């Protein structure tokens, strides 16, 4: 610390230009003896902060050149704090800076730092890295961003998971289930000895409380309808819960997949919902022990019912005043101070879901012309617009959830579109396009700029706005826009994810189509949930999707394609990423 102060004193006096100087001048400036000054110069040289060239001969001046700016010295010190795991101290320093140097930020972004147990002062395996984004809520049914869902994945459990590839349910809190009366009665058997992070036991009554609460909390229409179809919930034992339905439902278990159906201790939540938003309680492999803006710590839950994670602690932090820049590749580098060999892992895959436009038929205007949606779609040269997207690779399939669907049916014909808009007399008219926005200022900035040029080319002045996704779903706000750009990313249970998207007000599909069309779509969705099994349900859901695309109630823009690259210490095992390209913490372990 003292060396840093000495250096700053010299820098403030002489700057970074080379100077011929007598050692007595330095001693006077540092207010110390010549002998001690020589020791200081030696140490500063060893740190490579200065170049010191003594000239031979009595009475001759030596040459000094200060090599680093004070900010660089401080950033180097902060780097050491982070390497040592002192994240809080580093964050306090960064918060007090007016700006951060680009090389320093780039270094920070790659600091996926692993501290193995034999080197940690408490004997813990710890992963710390700058991957914290602002979160509005970690209550399961309120999560909206990938970051929120990723954290929720490690805090909570569901009754069951679903594997789309094998078309099968995977036990979580439930270890078995059975249906009777042709699917009108469902009995679910819970695992024994499961506890929440606060020590509260999980029982059949807990499940009953959760499902009853979903009547008022789940936003997707199909979930509300399914919960309303439950006529009775019995708890014959603490480990058995039985649901009686108003009519047979072979797809009932899908109600419990997806992280919005995670199980929570309801009474704890009700005591203080605001506190629960930021410090939630679940049964998952990790419990949250600290959460403040920009800094979050997860700790392995010793009483987890499954395999306790080998990674003891995860510390996430944000980089204050981080400059915005895009990456087409998802990149992680996970090393520690003694890493000698690094292994590289690569994944290439599409992200199920997509980015799309919807035309707001609930607001009067020229955009409600019967042919407007189709002609707008034809005006979009998607390859030209999005192939060089700065943030990710893209492609243009014909489905949000079926990677084998073929090429997008909504073809482009820019010349035909331009002639049509001119013929209709739309030149000089104005329209409003609104982008949804998530909690950490994530919105379709690049797309808004690109689409503005498209509308300019067809003679229409386009006003663009960015509105919080939940605020935009408000009817009053929705009436202020003509066109909406939104996106969806599907989870492992694609049936549930797409049903959420088709029926949630935050997807702007059902709440933007004409009223008679909404009735027809809801009838088609009812057919989906009356399907005899998941395979048939997905087939029927594809029919709904085709209807929306054929009639341009959804104008498909693109689907993301991810390249995930991970460079990791070869001793790090269990490296996996989830569908949203995030690390699965509970799989990681270090082979020392």
Identify the CATH number of the domain in which residue 38 sits.
Answer: 1.10.10.10
**Residues 328-342, buried b or exposed e (16+ Cβ, 10 A)?**
eebebbbbbeebeee
Name which residue leads in pLDDT, 333 or 7: 7
Q: Is the domain of 386 the same as that of 449?
A: yes
Taking the C-alpha atoms of residue 115 and residue 96, their distance in angstroms, rounded to an integer, is 27
Q: Is the domain of 364 the same as that of 404?
A: yes
pLDDT band at 246 (very low <50, low <70, confident <90, very high): very high
326: pLDDT strictly greater than 60:
no
pLDDT exceeding 90 applies to what percent of the chain? 57
User: Helices 23-30 and 34-46 sit at what angle, rounded to 10 degrees?
Assistant: 90
Q: Which residues contact 388 (CB under 8 A, 6 or more apart)?
A: none
Contact 61, 14 (CB under 8 A): no
> What total number of domains does the chain contain?
4
pLDDT value at position 185?
98
pLDDT value at position 414?
96
Mean pLDDT for the stretch of residues 229-238: 97
pLDDT per residue over 522-568, tens digit each? 999 999 999 999 999 999 999 999 999 999 999 999 999 988 888 88
19: pLDDT strictly greater than 90:
no
Residue 439 lies in a domain: yes
Give Cα 344 distance to the centre of its chain: 23
Q: Is the domain of 433 the same as that of 491?
A: yes
pLDDT value at position 568?
86
Residue 280 lies in a domain: no
Residue 276 lies in a domain: no
pLDDT per residue over 487-513, tens digit each? 998 988 999 999 988 988 888 999 999
pLDDT value at position 439?
61
The one-character DSSP state at 541 is H
pLDDT band at 91 (very low <50, low <70, confident <90, very high): confident
pLDDT per residue over 430-468, tens digit each? 999 999 987 656 789 999 999 999 999 999 999 999 998
Boundary-marking domain end, from 239, 271, 303: 271
The mean pLDDT value of the chain amounts to 89
**Which residue pairs, CB below 8 angstroms and at least 24 apart, start in 530-537?**
531/250, 531/251, 532/250, 533/250, 533/251, 534/167, 534/251, 534/254, 534/495, 535/167, 537/251, 537/495
Q: Is the domain of 577 the same as that of 554?
A: no
116: pLDDT strictly greater than 70:
no
Q: Which residue has the tokens 């998941």?
A: 534
Weakest-pLDDT range from 3-12, 323-332, 478-487:
323-332
Residue 534's CATH number:
3.10.105.10
Q: Is the domain of 528 the same as that of 390?
A: yes
Q: Is the domain of 428 the same as that of 486?
A: yes
pLDDT value at position 477?
92
pLDDT value at position 441?
63
Residue 391 lies in a domain: yes
pLDDT value at position 455?
97
Mean pLDDT for the stretch of residues 179-202: 97
Name which residue leads in pLDDT, 525 or 329: 525
Q: Which of 277, 291, 262 is nearest to 137 (CA)?
A: 277
Mean pLDDT for the stretch of residues 310-327: 74
pLDDT value at position 275?
95
Q: Which of 334, 365, 196 is nearest to 264 (CA)?
A: 196
Residue 278 lies in a domain: no
Both tokens of residue 37? 């000054």
Cβ atoms within 10 Å of 404's Cβ, excluding its own: 7
Residue 277 lies in a domain: no
Mean pLDDT for the stretch of residues 381-386: 96
Both tokens of residue 118? 């034999």
323: pLDDT strictly greater than 80:
no
Residue 219's CATH number:
3.90.76.10
Q: Is the domain of 258 the same as that of 311?
A: no
Cβ atoms within 10 Å of 217's Cβ, excluding its own: 15
Residue 135 lies in a domain: no
Q: Is the domain of 62 the same as that of 207?
A: no
Q: Which residue has the tokens 């890295």?
A: 129
State the alpha helices, DSSP H only, in 218-339.
Answer: 221-228, 266-271, 273-278
pLDDT value at position 550?
98
Q: Is the domain of 177 the same as that of 126?
A: no
Q: Is the domain of 263 the same as that of 307?
A: no
Q: Is the domain of 152 the same as that of 257?
A: yes
Q: Is the domain of 330 the same as that of 259?
A: no
pLDDT per residue over 343-365, tens digit each? 998 888 888 999 999 999 999 99
Contact 52, 64 (CB under 8 A): yes
56: pLDDT strictly greater than 80:
no
The one-character DSSP state at 201 is B
Taking the C-alpha atoms of residue 230 and residue 249, their distance in angstroms, rounded to an integer, is 10
Give the structural domain span for 100.
Answer: 74-130+285-341+570-590
pLDDT band at 290 (very low <50, low <70, confident <90, very high): very high
Residue 279 lies in a domain: no
328: pLDDT strictly greater than 60:
no
Both tokens of residue 5? 């102060």
Q: Which of 582, 2, 11, 36 is nearest to 314 (CA)?
A: 582
pLDDT value at position 81?
78
């Amino acid at each position: 610390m003292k060396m840093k102060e000495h250096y700053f004193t010299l820098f403030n006096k002489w700057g970074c230009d080379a100077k011929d100087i007598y050692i007595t001048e330095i001693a006077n400036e540092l207010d110390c003896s010549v002998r001690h000054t020589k020791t200081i110069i030696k140490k500063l040289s060893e740190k490579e902060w200065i170049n010191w060239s003594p000239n031979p001969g009595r009475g001759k001046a030596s040459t000094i050149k200060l090599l680093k700016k004070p900010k660089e010295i401080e950033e180097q010190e902060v780097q050491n704090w982070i390497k040592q795991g002192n994240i809080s101290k580093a964050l306090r320093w960064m918060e007090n800076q007016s700006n951060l140097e680009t090389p320093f930020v780039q270094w920070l972004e790659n600091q996926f730092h692993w501290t193995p147990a034999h080197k940690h002062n408490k004997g813990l395996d710890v992963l710390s890295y700058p991957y914290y984004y602002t979160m509005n809520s970690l209550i399961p049914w309120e999560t909206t961003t990938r970051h929120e869902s990723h954290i929720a994945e490690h805090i909570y459990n569901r009754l069951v998971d679903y594997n789309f590839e094998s078309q099968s349910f995977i036990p979580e809190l439930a270890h078995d289930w059975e249906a009777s009366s042709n699917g009108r009665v469902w009995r679910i058997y819970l695992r024994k000895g499961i506890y929440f992070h606060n020590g509260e036991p999980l029982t059949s009554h807990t499940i009953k409380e959760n499902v009853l609460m979903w009547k008022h909390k789940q936003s997707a229409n199909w979930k509300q309808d399914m919960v309303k179809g439950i006529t009775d919930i019995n708890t014959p034992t603490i480990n058995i819960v039985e649901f009686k339905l108003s009519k047979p439902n072979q797809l009932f278990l899908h109600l419990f997949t997806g992280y919005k159906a995670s199980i929570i201790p309801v009474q704890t939540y009700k005591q203080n919902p605001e506190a629960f938003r930021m410090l939630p309680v679940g049964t998952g492999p990790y419990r949250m022990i600290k959460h403040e803006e920009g800094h979050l710590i997860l700790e392995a839950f010793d009483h987890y019912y499954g395999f306790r994670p080998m990674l003891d602690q995860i510390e996430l932090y944000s980089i204050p005043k981080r400059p915005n820049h895009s990456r087409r590749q998802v990149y992680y580098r996970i090393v520690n101070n003694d890493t000698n060999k690094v292994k590289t892992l690569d994944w290439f895959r599409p992200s199920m879901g997509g980015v799309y436009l919807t035309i707001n038929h609930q607001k009067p205007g020229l955009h409600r012309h019967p042919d407007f949606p189709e002609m707008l779609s034809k005006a979009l040269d998607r390859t030209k617009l999005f192939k060089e997207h700065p943030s990710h690779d893209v492609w243009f399939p014909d489905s949000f959830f079926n990677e084998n669907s073929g090429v997008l049916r909504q073809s482009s014909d820019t010349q035909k579109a331009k002639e049509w808009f001119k013929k209709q007399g739309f030149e000089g008219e104005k329209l409003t396009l609104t982008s949804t926005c998530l909690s950490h200022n994530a919105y379709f900035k690049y797309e808004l700029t690109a689409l503005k040029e498209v509308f300019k080319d067809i003679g229409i002045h386009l006003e663009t706005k960015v509105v919080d996704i939940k605020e935009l779903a408000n009817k009053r706000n929705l009436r202020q826009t003509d066109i909406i750009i939104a996106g969806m990313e599907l989870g492992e249970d694609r049936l549930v994810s797409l049903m959420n998207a088709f029926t949630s007000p935050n997807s702007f599909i059902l709440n933007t189509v004409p009223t008679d069309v909404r009735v027809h779509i809801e009838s088609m969705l009812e057919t989906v949930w009356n399907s005899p099994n998941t395979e048939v349900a997905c087939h029927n859901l594809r029919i709904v999707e085709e209807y929306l695309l054929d009639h341009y109630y959804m104008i498909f823009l693109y689907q993301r394609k991810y390249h995930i690259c991970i460079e990791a210490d070869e001793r790090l095992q269990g490296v996996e990423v989830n569908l949203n390209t995030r690390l699965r913490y509970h799989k990681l372990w270090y082979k020392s």
